[in-house]
Amino acid sequence: MSRMIYLDHAATTKTMPEAAEAMEPYLEVYYGNPSTIYEFGEKSREAIEHSREVIARTIHARPEEIFFTSGGTESDNWALKEAVHLHERMHGKKGGILTTPVEHHAVLNSCEELKQMGCGISYLSVDATGRVILSDAERAIMESDDACLLSVMYANNEIGTVEPIDELGRMARRRRIIFHTDAVQAYGHLPIHVQRENIDMLSASAHKFGGPKGVGFLYIRSEINLPAFVHGGAQESNRRAGTENVPGIVGMGKAAELAHRRMRMERQRVRYLRDYLAHRILQEIPDVMMTGNRKFRLANNASFCFKGITGEAAAILLDTQGICVSSGSACSTGSLEDSHVLTAVGLGGEWAQGELRFTLGPENTKEEMDYVAEKVKYVVADMRGA
């Protein structure tokens, strides 16, 4: 093929043309500071509030429960660290956090920092597909005396497994534990209802669903008086200081609107292509396994472990053929250690070293899947010395 085939949409997505177009006036025409009192700044403030309303509707929240951030990493840090601080203010002691070993590093590294500060961290068991074992989770939640927060990602960024968020939300609500979900991979791709699923806080990042990079949001249920994470001015209802990224917020709002409008049809389309690619790889290449849950899975995710190869080297060779894929999480590229997600699901050594992740998007076609399958067969065989 003459053009690049991009199959790393879990790492980032192309900004939708409609989102880029919506952003342009706020870069060139309506560039006023939204905190000013004159009409020129009011245009920017109105644009921010419109995006807030749009995003709130997509998850069945109130506009005043949406707070704009620089992305998913900031949102995760804010949710975890300030939930612990909130508990300490209310009860005079640090609360514990319940999470899983398959979380994004934004959650895991925040937990490690909190642990150094005296916060107890407990990890729920996951099965061989990376899905939380509900019976173990219920026992851990019921037996925890000091837990102030349960944080479980909505869908895994490496292996695509979708977690039982509804059930976990009910458990947390019964125990009056704040429930946070990192929905960076799920938002814009799966329908989310924060009220029905008992979600108290939710993190999302615009560049994962067709918006610009460097902007995201944190949903905070109105009953939770989460302290500010960034201090300074009175922006975001005194909860997140700093002049707002108006063009980014506008682009995110437009991308959110379009992603949710197109969600059902796009999920069906990419699921068909994903299954077609997975079938070819599993049938035509020996010593390969598909990781993650087959039933509870992001529609666009096909992740594999190939025995006898190195995933990063394979990704580089595929790049020479015009194919962009990753060897696991984009945030872990260059690491010499096995994926923490694969380790958590019981895969290590030779299998873990051969991880490749294919994540599809709006521009991918069946013709591309055939080309990719052939090139993967060639690269794997070549690396195995066949």
Q: Which residues are catalytic?
A: 331
Which residues touch 10 (CB under 8 Å, ≥6 apart)? 157, 158, 185, 208, 300, 301, 326, 330, 357, 359
**Cβ neighbours of residue 289 closer than 8 Å, sequence gap 6 or more:** 304, 305, 351
**Could you give the CA distance from residue 338 to residue 353 in angstroms, rounded to a whole number?**
7
β-sheet bridge partners, residue 5? 323
- Compute, in degrees rounded to 10, the torsion defined by CA atoms 315, 359, 328, 165: 180
- 334: number of Cβ within 10 Å: 6
Q: Are 186 and 46 in contact (CB under 8 A)?
A: no
- The label of the residue with tokens 């997140």 reads 240
Amino acid of residue 149: L
Classify burial at 246, counting beta carbons within 10 Å of its beta carbon; exposed 0-12, middle 13-18, buried 19 or more.
Answer: buried
